[in-house]
């Protein structure tokens, strides 16, 4: 996408579809839980109650926003905004098909981790600014829980990165072409799912808003629009986690057995399945105890993941199966190559479309110049080729 | 991004950075000071991203904002803030001396950077 207008439309479409997804996900959740408990669930608004979410949203949006008298008002309002912004911003690096994310860069995995740690601040400052004991206990629990599980989440992901050789999510999915990571890393898959539950504060780990103890946890004092923002962020995070699970472990958009039919449809299908797991787990399991949760993270998941990490690295080393640095070469299929001539010599040069450091722009300009010269003349000048080759090697080395 | 955009963004981030550093120092409420500090961290990493140091910027966010500042917040939130008293021990001369020394060190830093670059 080149035109800024198209870019805007595309990003709006993603946001609108995400909001719709959240809306219908809440209805789906209520329906599934209702049927598991032999109730009917919402069945008045729309066919089979499917439009219930819009009625709820309308009700919440026309309500008057109340602010606690003793709250720090500016921080109180900023909290939900931060959470909402970052939980939606993370989708800018999530690819829906090979290389079709907004920002297909070499570090998209790190972007996901960074945004997830930033979105935590919305909860923290929101819960603190409420100036209520319930909200305060809610966020204290939420911080401890999310920090602990982010560690194990990151470690699990870096086991996969060792097998892929890239931090690019598209590359990580393309590396699963022949073997989804759920098979060689089966224990990690389960640990990742559990960590995802804890990371999104979902049942059976929903201590941040344990109704029986803390009224509603960190969002006790929030109502109307601000509550909607928290709510949307929470569910968007759940959908994000399901997407990440299907991208990292279930092959993302890859079609099983017939890779030529791979499309976003398969990503949607897998994500939908994992989303259902989130709901079914909520309806099935009671809330566990808080100390059990912490012990499970620090004494079970973390040591196991560390051991697995060492195991993976040693296996890769001794079986001589280390992945190519920079990941599989088909990582950047959608990039238009600037260096058409040298691209044939160096397929990996596609990576140069990533933004180079400011000091290296001159070198890049020189490379484009040589590329143009060679193309125009159609006569290969040895000195030029030599210069370009050294430039490519230099830039390629740095861009790693 | 062209040169002008880069410059404008840099000025914006740097201004935010300096402003939030001052807020960190002068804020009366410890939580407000910490939030300003986090804002400063984010701006530093944005400047890194602007320089093309993507990995450094992202790791900066993950380590400092995602882990370190959260622990700060965690600790500060558990204090009884009303009982803390501002201790006034350093005189104006010592303060200004420390300020001058740090300005000199900063000047040296920039100077050596220029020597390395050119």
What is the rounded average pLDDT for all residues in chain A? 80
* pLDDT value at residue B40: 92
Measured in angstroms, the CA of A303 and the nearest CA of chain B are apart by 19
Asked if omega into A204 is within 30° of 0 (cis), the reply is yes
Q: Do A118 and B31 touch (CB under 8 A)?
A: no
Residues from chain A contacting residue B67 (CB–CB below 8 Å):
117, 147
Is A158 part of the contact surface with chain B (CB cutoff 8 Å)?
no
> Can you tell me the mean pLDDT for A240-244?
93
Bigger pLDDT: A163 or A273?
A: A273
Does pLDDT of B5 surpass 90? no
* pLDDT value at residue A333: 32
State how far the alpha carbon of A307 is from the alpha carbons of A153, A155, A187, A300, B50, in Å.
14, 11, 12, 11, 37
Measured in angstroms, the CA of B105 and the nearest CA of chain A are apart by 25
Does pLDDT of A396 surpass 80? no
> Can you tell me the mean pLDDT for B98-118?
75
- What are the tens digits of pLDDT across the range B75-103? 887 776 665 555 566 677 888 888 899 98
The answer to whether the predicted template modeling score (pTM) of the entire model surpasses 0.95 is: no
pLDDT band at A50 (very low <50, low <70, confident <90, very high): confident
* pLDDT value at residue A246: 93
**Numbered residues of chain B with Cβ closer than 8 Å to any chain A Cβ:** 1, 6, 31-32, 35, 38, 42, 51-55, 58-59, 61-62, 65-67, 70-71, 73-74, 77-78
Does pLDDT of A89 surpass 60? yes
Is A105 part of the contact surface with chain B (CB cutoff 8 Å)?
yes
Residue owning tokens 């309002």: A77
* pLDDT value at residue B86: 59
Q: Do B55 and A107 touch (CB under 8 A)?
A: yes
* pLDDT value at residue A348: 45
Backbone angles phi, psi at B114, to 5 degrees: -65, -40
Bigger pLDDT: A43 or B87?
A: A43
* pLDDT value at residue B81: 62
CB pairs under 8 A between A and B: 64
Contacts of A26 (CB under 8 A, 6+ apart): A52, A53, A56, A235
* pLDDT value at residue B83: 52
Contact predicate A203/A281, CB 8 Å: yes
Mutate to test the interface with B, among A74, A114, A352 (most CBs of B within 10 A): A114
**Of the candidates A190, A220, A210, which has an alpha carbon nearest to the alpha carbon of residue A286?**
A210
- What are the tens digits of pLDDT across the range A265-314? 889 999 999 999 999 998 898 888 888 888 988 999 999 999 999 999 89
Measured in angstroms, the CA of B112 and the nearest CA of chain A are apart by 17
Question: For helices B3-26 and B30-50, what crossing angle results, to 10°?
Answer: 160
Residues from chain B contacting residue A128 (CB–CB below 8 Å):
31, 77
Residues from chain A contacting residue B61 (CB–CB below 8 Å):
114, 117-118
Q: Which residue blocks in chain B are alpha helix, DSSP H?
A: 3-26, 30-50, 54-60, 69-78, 92-117
Does pLDDT of A334 surpass 90? no
Measured in angstroms, the CA of B53 and the nearest CA of chain A are apart by 7
Residues from chain A contacting residue B31 (CB–CB below 8 Å):
125, 128
Does pLDDT of A371 surpass 80? no
> Can you tell me the mean pLDDT for B91-116?
79
Q: Do A143 and B70 touch (CB under 8 A)?
A: yes
Does pLDDT of A188 surpass 70? yes
Residue owning tokens 């709820």: A56
Mutate to test the interface with B, among A93, A106, A110, A199 (most CBs of B within 10 A): A110
**Of the candidates A120, A155, A114, which has an alpha carbon nearest to the alpha carbon of residue A141?**
A120
Q: Do A117 and B66 touch (CB under 8 A)?
A: yes
For every residue of A302-317, DSSP letters joined together read HHHHHHHHHHHHHHHH
* pLDDT value at residue A135: 85
* pLDDT value at residue A339: 44
Q: What is the complex's ipTM, to 2 decimals?
A: 0.75
Q: How many CA atoms lie within 13 A of A17 on its CB side?
A: 10
Least confident of A147-151, A246-250, A336-340: A336-340
* pLDDT value at residue A326: 57
* pLDDT value at residue B19: 92
Q: Do A118 and B51 touch (CB under 8 A)?
A: no
pLDDT band at A145 (very low <50, low <70, confident <90, very high): confident
Q: Chain B: residue nearest A356 by CA? A: B52
For every residue of A2-27, DSSP letters joined together read -SHHHHHHHHHHHHHHHHHHHHHHHH
Measured in angstroms, the CA of A149 and the nearest CA of chain B are apart by 12
Q: Which two tokens stand for residue A59?
A: 């009700």
* pLDDT value at residue B41: 92
- What are the tens digits of pLDDT across the range B11-24? 888 899 999 998 88
Bigger pLDDT: A306 or B106?
A: A306
Bigger pLDDT: A213 or A326?
A: A213
């Amino acid at each position: 996408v080149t035109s800024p207008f198209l870019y805007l439309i595309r990003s709006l479409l993603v946001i609108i579809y995400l909001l719709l997804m959240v809306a219908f996900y809440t209805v789906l959740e209520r329906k599934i839980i209702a049927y598991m408990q032999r109730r009917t669930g919402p069945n008045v608004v729309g066919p089979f109650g499917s439009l219930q979410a819009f009625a709820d949203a309308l009700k919440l949006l026309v309500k008057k926003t109340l602010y606690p008298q003793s709250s720090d008002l500016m921080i109180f309002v900023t909290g939900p905004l931060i959470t909402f912004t970052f939980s939606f911003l993370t989708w800018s690096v999530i690819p829906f098909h090979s290389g079709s994310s907004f920002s297909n860069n070499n570090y998209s995995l790190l972007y996901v981790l960074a945004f997830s740690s930033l979105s935590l601040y919305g909860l923290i400052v929101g819960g603190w600014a409420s100036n209520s004991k319930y909200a305060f206990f809610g966020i204290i629990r939420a911080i401890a829980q999310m920090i602990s599980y982010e560690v194990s989440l990151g470690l699990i992901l870096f086991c996969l990165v060792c097998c892929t050789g890239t931090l690019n999510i598209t590359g990580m999915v393309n590396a699963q072409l022949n073997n989804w990571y759920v098979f060689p890393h089966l224990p990690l898959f389960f640990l990742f799912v559990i960590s995802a539950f804890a990371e999104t504060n979902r049942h059976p780990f929903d201590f941040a808003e344990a109704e029986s103890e803390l009224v509603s946890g960190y969002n006790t004092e929030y109502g109307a629009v601000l509550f909607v923002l928290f709510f949307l962020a929470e569910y968007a995070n759940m959908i994000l986690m399901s997407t990440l699970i299907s991208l990292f472990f279930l092959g993302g958009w890859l079609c099983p057995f017939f890779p030529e039919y791979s499309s976003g449809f398969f990503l949607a299908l897998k994500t939908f399945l994992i989303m259902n797991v989130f709901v079914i787990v909520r309806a099935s399991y009671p809330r566990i105890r808080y100390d059990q949760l912490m012990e499970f993270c620090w004494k079970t998941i973390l040591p196991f993941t560390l051991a697995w990490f060492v195991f993976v690295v040693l296996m890769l080393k001794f079986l001589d199966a280390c992945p190519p640095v920079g990941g599989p070469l088909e990582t950047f299929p959608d990039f238009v190559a600037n260096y058409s001539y040298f691209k044939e010599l160096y397929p990996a040069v596609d990576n140069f479309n990533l933004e180079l450091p400011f000091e290296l722009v001159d070198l890049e300009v020189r490379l484009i110049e040589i590329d143009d010269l060679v193309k125009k003349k159609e006569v290969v000048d040895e000195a030029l080729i030599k210069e370009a080759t050294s430039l490519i090697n230099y830039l390629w080395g740095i861009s790693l | 991004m062209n040169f002008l955009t880069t410059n404008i963004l840099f000025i914006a981030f740097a201004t935010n950075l300096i402003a939030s550093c001052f807020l960190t120092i002068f804020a009366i409420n410890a939580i407000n000071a910490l939030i300003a500090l986090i804002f400063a961290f984010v701006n530093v990493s944005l400047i890194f991203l602007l320089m093309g140091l993507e990995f450094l910027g992202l790791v900066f966010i993950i380590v400092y904002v995602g882990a370190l500042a959260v622990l700060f917040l965690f600790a500060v939130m558990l204090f009884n803030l009303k009982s803390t008293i501002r201790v006034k021990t350093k005189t104006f001369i010592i303060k200004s001396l420390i300020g001058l020394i740090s300005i000199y060190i900063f000047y040296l830093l920039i100077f050596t950077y220029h020597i390395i670059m050119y």
